[in-house]
A and B are shown apart, each in its own frame.
Chain A
Amino acid sequence: DQQVKQNSPSLSVQEGRISILNCDYTNSMFDYFLWYKKYPAEGPTFLISISSIKDKNEDGRFTVFLNKSAKHLSLHIVPSQPGDSAVYFCAASANGSARQLTFGSGTQLTVLP
């Protein structure tokens, strides 16, 4: 039962362009969403998050958009840089879940110089 889905296993983008990573969820109890970034042989690192009371959160080059009616969120990276090449995981949590995060399967982003 995949409650968080990242349907694109990989994405290639030219340096300087926008990267858009997508995530869909099925559990309507989710009220907090996060993106994590993972380099090979390292653990995931927290990137950006958004509460369900918002539809947008921005942090530097990273912006997360949330469309609750569509149960969809996306991460925009502008401009993309080669150092952004990594696996990006979408994660979600439901209130009262003891901070349990449900993760998607990740999207490998490759930024081409």
Chain B
Amino acid sequence: DTAVSQTPKYLVTQMGNDKSIKCEQNLGHDTMYWYKQDSKKFLKIMFSYNNKELIINETVPNRFSPKSPDKAHLNLHINSLELGDSAVYFCASSFLQGGYGYTFGSGTRLTVV
């Protein structure tokens, strides 16, 4: 059973397009995250939702919009894609209270051409 699943795993698209990445967790966690791994390999937080409420919103272009229909899902919509958006995007989940161990999805490699 996949604990945190992201789709698609690979996404190649042209500049200017709008795309979505979906994430679902079946761990019963109350908090979900989107992280971006850039070309220098740093994992940087983009957003965090706790029970469908946005709790972390880092400095991310407003072309990126997260949506959490319920606490088991956190989707990422990206409008007007740019070359610099090419990266690997990781979804993760955890309990807000208690241990800090995130469970990550396997990542979505986005390539904008």
Contacts and interface: CB of A to CB of B under 8 A. Distances in A.
Interface of A: 2, 32, 34, 36, 41-46, 49, 87, 89, 91, 93, 98-106
A33 B23 CA distance: 26
Nearest to B107: A43
Given A98-B55, A98-B56, A99-B94, A44 B43 contact: yes
14 contacts: A34-B101, A43-B104, A43-B105, A46-B101, A87-B41, A98-B48, A99-B31, A99-B94, A99-B96, A99-B100, A103-B42, A105-B40, A105-B42, A106-B41
A45 B104 contact: yes
Contacts of A93: 100
B63 interface: no
Contacts of B102: 36, 44, 46, 99, 101
A105 B45 contact: no
B67 interface: no
Interface of B: 4, 31, 35, 40-45, 48, 50, 55-56, 90, 92, 94, 96, 99-107
A44 B42 contact: no
A81 to B, nearest CB: 22
Contact of B43 (A46, A49, A89, A99): A89
Contact of A43 (B55, B92, B99): B92
A101 B41 CA distance: 15
A44 B56 contact: no
A113 to B, nearest CB: 26
A99 B50 CA distance: 10
Contact of B106 (A36, A42, A91): A42
A100 B45 contact: yes
A60 to B, nearest CB: 16
A98 B50 contact: yes
A48 B77 CA distance: 32
